[in-house]
Amino acid sequence: MAITLSMRNLSLRKTPKLSNEEFKQLTSFIYEKTGISIPPRRKYLIENKLGKRLNELNIKTYSDYIKYLKFSPQKETEFKKLCELITINETCFFRDIKQLTLFKNIILPEMLKKRQEQGSKSLTIWSAGCSSGEEPYTLGIILHEVLKVSIIGWNIKIYANDLSPAMLFKARKGIYNEYSLRTTPENIKKKYFTVTKEGYKIHPKVQKLVNFQLINLADPRDVKKIPKSDIIFCRNVIIYFDDAVKKKVLSHFYENLKDDGYLFLGYSESIHRITKLFKPQIKPGGIVYQKNL
Amino acid sequence: MKKICVEYIVPGMILAKPVQGLDGSELFPEGTELGEEEKKVLEDAGIDYIYVTARSEESEQSILQTVAQEYAFKFFMYVNPDNKLFVELFNIIVELIFDALKKGWELPCEDYIRAKSVERMRDLFLKDMGGPEDIVKHELSLASFPDVYFRLKKVLENPSSSAKDIAEVVSSDVALTTKLLKLVNSPLFGLTQKVDSVERAVSLVGEEELSNLVLGISAIRYFKDIPPELMDMQTFWKHSLSCAIFAKIIASNYRDVNDEVLFTAGLLHDVGKLILFKNMPYSSVETLVFARENMVPMMEAEEYVLGFTHTDISKLLMNSWQFPNTINDIVSNHHNPTEASFETGAAIVQLADNLANAVGISYGNTFVVPGMDEDVFDKLNFPVEKLKPIVLKHNKLLNDLLSALT
């Protein structure tokens, strides 16, 4: 592996310098508006991620960018752009199959049976932090798989929200690439997706179950827009909040969830240090949470 | 003509083959010059690979340089871009990638890197229901560490034992002896004469040093016998050995540091990860994905996903195996050398780990570069100009040693 060509002195710096003071201003602004907490060790990452945006806007310093975020006529739009840059949208259909199997085989049938006995035949699921829609659509597919034609007799609503308008746009469009479907079984792919020029399009019968909204989980007024849920999915979202905001978001879930409802968190998320509002229940395939009443 | 992932398109590339959409319709004809707009269309259409060429030889060189830089840069998103260590590492890596690309290396796609399907894998412990202690306890119940190491240890502890006694213990294990002799005869050790017996090796390398090497080789064998399903052992030991070579070479610049200890510590620095992969396969891959997508060091990802780290595991494991304290201390703290009793040693392995990961980028072995505390590097006071010669020396040694030891 001989090094043949010399290209010395490449620089790693592609952005203006973000001072500690600017970093503090920026992160407290983000925290106030979104609840997302960015620790100091992320300084260079933020510098890199936002640096590109500064270039696009032809803004020379982060101080000027902060002013732009706070005071410019475009501040609303820019705030949404900022959200897109700092949130992570990695997801796919049928992510964490063991947990979804638990949902499909145990939790969902139990809940459907209960509601039917209560004579309501209605079910509300909230996919909190849905990114580009893979999770709520996965849940929709599972509902179709479990209920089959009898789904017609049910009033099913899946509410899905995210902080990023770009993600919601993609979610509403419902078109995905191969990578998003990497953990989706072949038969499901055939049944619920059609191949189009742009990619795999989700079936309209799944799409119509899902209602997408732009919502900030840390904002109590926003959260009130979601009707009381039977089941809440919030996977790999609360990690971006600090403990105070986590606590707040979990209390929103507590208020929203019906007394016999279930909360699903990400595979590696635990909340027992944060709040006693929920009690974990160990089931085959993972942990689900129920309200501590 | 080169096959590349859509994400690595840089302006100026020319399509060498037409591209079809998922439904079979033609998106772009052959000969299309690609720019940001075309890249976006291809990405949205979910195209993985395309075949590209360039207008001229010159243009191809400059395109490959850009690709190499952009590919390498992703590994450096979270480090201080003004720090001389990272700038130097970046420069070295770009050269290595550029060189590999010219030789026809296909850059692995981001999707491919992440798309390890682990959905069927089951972790032995659920989060918060099994910590490092449980994992190590489970591990120890499965197999015991090769006996020859403990017998050797006993001999060393006896003040009246001689080189011959040591040689006797080691020579009883033929496979071990072969590997040991290959190792000490490698140019890495720079011995002027050929060593053809263990006894001779003891007298040239030293008793303590030799036992450390035996420890390292035994460890490779222990783990080879029980490979985790998910981890490609060759890849794992390539990285470990790479780190060991770097650690030994760097250590030779410090008077109060024992090269062989550093070699073994480098070789063993990630054994905690092996144990994790065996017991927590699902979480282990979640950790990799988390680190990659959030662009954070592995340690942070492990803290988050698992609630503990691979060094918590190796610390307990090495304790129960009664490994030498120095090696345990270095390995346990190679991500936070300031907490080590032997800070220089831990810092050397940290630097070596960064170099090994950096070099690994140029053959697709690296997921994230671990990063290094800038103060720790400053304290080590290692001249950055020496890094590139070290990398060249390392590259010459790696493959021979790898086939000798694994």
What pLDDT, on a 0 to 100 scale, did the predictor assign at position A286? 83
Q: Name chain A contacts of B99, Cβ cutoff 8 Å.
A: 1-5
- Whether residues A118 and A255 share a domain: the answer is yes
- Whether residues A77 and A158 share a domain: the answer is no
Query: A162 pairs with which residues across the strands?
Result: A214
Task: Using a CB–CB cutoff of 8 Å, tell me whether B66 touches chain A.
Answer: no
- Whether residues A122 and A225 share a domain: the answer is yes
A31-87 pLDDT per residue, tens: 988 888 888 888 999 999 999 899 999 999 999 999 999 999 999 889 988 988 887
Please calculate the CA angle B294-B300-B304 and round it to the nearest 5 degrees: 85
The kind and range of the H/E element at A130 are none
Residue B241 contacts residue B402 (beta carbons within 8 Å) = yes
- Read off the CATH number of the domain in which A243 is found: 3.40.50.150
Asked, for residue A255, whether it belongs to a domain, the answer is: yes
* CA atoms within 13 A of residue B372's CA, in its CB half-sphere: 28
What pLDDT, on a 0 to 100 scale, did the predictor assign at position A48? 92
Asked, for residue A5, whether it belongs to a domain, the answer is: no
- Whether residues A144 and A279 share a domain: the answer is yes
Report chain B's mean pLDDT, rounded to a whole number. Answer: 88
If pLDDT is split at 50, 70 and 90, which confidence band does B312 have?
A: very high
Q: At what angle do helices B207-225 and B147-157 cross, to 10 degrees?
A: 160
Residue B383 contacts residue B357 (beta carbons within 8 Å) = no
A97-143 pLDDT per residue, tens: 888 999 999 999 999 999 999 999 999 999 999 888 999 999 999 99
What pLDDT, on a 0 to 100 scale, did the predictor assign at position B365? 77
* Fold adopted by B1-55: Molybdopterin biosynthesis moea protein, domain 2 (3.90.105)
Whole-angstrom CA distances from A211 to A80, A127, A225, B134 are: 20, 10, 12, 44
Residues 366-395 of B with CB under 8 A from A: 388, 392, 395
- Read off the CATH number of the domain in which A64 is found: 1.10.155.10
**Contact call for A270 and B127, based on CB within 8 A:** yes
% of chain B exceeding 70 in pLDDT: 94
The residue to which tokens 């030889």 are assigned? B57
Residues 109-168 of A with CB under 8 A from B: none
Domain parsing of chain B, residue ranges: 1-55, 132-405
What pLDDT, on a 0 to 100 scale, did the predictor assign at position A4? 42
Q: Which residue of A44, A85, A170, A186 is the best one to mutate when testing the B interface, meaning the one whose CB has the most B CBs within 10 A?
A: A44
Averaged over B213-219, what is the pLDDT?
90
Has residue A244 got a pLDDT over 80? yes
Q: Which of A40, A57, A86 is the last residue of a domain?
A: A86
Task: Using a CB–CB cutoff of 8 Å, tell me whether B46 touches chain A.
Answer: yes
Has residue A262 got a pLDDT over 60? yes
d(CA A40, CA A21) in angstroms, rounded, equals 11
Q: Which of A39, A60, A86 is the last residue of a domain?
A: A86
Has residue B379 got a pLDDT over 90? yes
What is the total residue count of chain A? 293
CB pairs under 8 A between A and B: 132
Asked, for residue A2, whether it belongs to a domain, the answer is: no
Has residue B113 got a pLDDT over 70? no
**Contact call for B283 and A8, based on CB within 8 A:** no
- Whether residues A54 and A169 share a domain: the answer is no
- Whether residues A71 and A121 share a domain: the answer is no
- Whether residues A50 and A71 share a domain: the answer is yes
Averaged over A268-280, what is the pLDDT?
87
Has residue B226 got a pLDDT over 70? no
What pLDDT, on a 0 to 100 scale, did the predictor assign at position B45? 78
**Contact call for B96 and A9, based on CB within 8 A:** no
User: Collapsing DSSP states into helix, strand and coil, what is residue A238?
Assistant: helix
Window from A262-271, B81-90, B240-249 with minimum mean pLDDT: A262-271
Window from A134-143, A221-230, A233-242 with minimum mean pLDDT: A233-242
If pLDDT is split at 50, 70 and 90, which confidence band does A1 have?
A: very low
Scanning every residue of chain A, which has its alpha carbon at the shortest distance from the alpha carbon of B109? A179
Has residue B114 got a pLDDT over 80? no
d(CA A180, CA A184) in angstroms, rounded, equals 8
Has residue B293 got a pLDDT over 50? yes
DSSP state of A105: I
Based on its alpha-carbon atoms, the radius of gyration of chain A, rounded to whole angstroms, reads 22
What pLDDT, on a 0 to 100 scale, did the predictor assign at position B144? 79
Averaged over B359-372, what is the pLDDT?
84
What pLDDT, on a 0 to 100 scale, did the predictor assign at position A2? 39
**Total domain count for chain A?**
2
Partner residue facing A197 (CB), from B21, B65, B115: B21
Q: Name chain B contacts of A6, Cβ cutoff 8 Å.
A: 95
Has residue A251 got a pLDDT over 70? yes
d(CA B315, CA B132) in angstroms, rounded, equals 9
Q: B197 vs chain A: nearest CA distance in angstroms?
A: 32
> Is beta strand A278-283 parallel, antiparallel or unpaired with respect to A229-234?
unpaired
Averaged over B291-305, what is the pLDDT?
84
- Whether residues A101 and A236 share a domain: the answer is yes
**DSSP-assigned letters across all residues of B153-208:** HHHHHSTT--HHHHHHHHHTSHHHHHHHHHHHHSTTT--SS---SHHHHHHHH-HH
- Whether residues A35 and A151 share a domain: the answer is no
% of chain B exceeding 90 in pLDDT: 49
Asked, for residue A208, whether it belongs to a domain, the answer is: yes
d(CA A2, CA B65) in angstroms, rounded, equals 16
Has residue B231 got a pLDDT over 80? no
Asked, for residue A52, whether it belongs to a domain, the answer is: yes
- Whether residues A197 and A74 share a domain: the answer is no
**Contact call for B45 and A198, based on CB within 8 A:** yes
Partner residue facing A44 (CB), from B44, B78, B392: B78
DSSP state of B14: E
How many CB atoms lie under 10 A from the CB of residue B224?
A: 12
Averaged over A170-191, what is the pLDDT?
88
- Whether residues A281 and A235 share a domain: the answer is yes
Task: Using a CB–CB cutoff of 8 Å, tell me whether A244 touches chain B.
Answer: no
**Contact call for B111 and A179, based on CB within 8 A:** yes
Q: Which of A36, A55, A86 is the last residue of a domain?
A: A86
Q: Which domain holds residue A67?
A: 20-86
**Contact call for A3 and B392, based on CB within 8 A:** yes
**Backbone φ/ψ region at B374: left (φ over 0), alpha (ψ -120 to 50), beta:** alpha
What pLDDT, on a 0 to 100 scale, did the predictor assign at position A134? 93
Q: Name chain B contacts of A41, Cβ cutoff 8 Å.
A: 78, 300
If pLDDT is split at 50, 70 and 90, which confidence band does B47 have?
A: confident
Assess if CATH 1.10.10.1200 describes domain B132-405: no
HEC per residue, B22-37 = CCCCEEECCCCECCHH
What pLDDT, on a 0 to 100 scale, did the predictor assign at position B46? 74
**Contact call for A179 and B115, based on CB within 8 A:** yes
Give the pair of three-digit tokens for residue A275. 């709040």
Task: Look up the ipTM and state it.
Answer: 0.82
Exposed / middle / buried, residue B123 (Cβ in 10 Å: 0-12, 13-18, 19+): buried
Averaged over B323-343, what is the pLDDT?
94
Has residue A5 got a pLDDT over 50? no
What pLDDT, on a 0 to 100 scale, did the predictor assign at position B364? 78
Task: Using a CB–CB cutoff of 8 Å, tell me whether B294 touches chain A.
Answer: yes
- Whether residues A80 and A102 share a domain: the answer is no
Q: Which residue has the higher pLDDT, B229 or A228?
A: A228
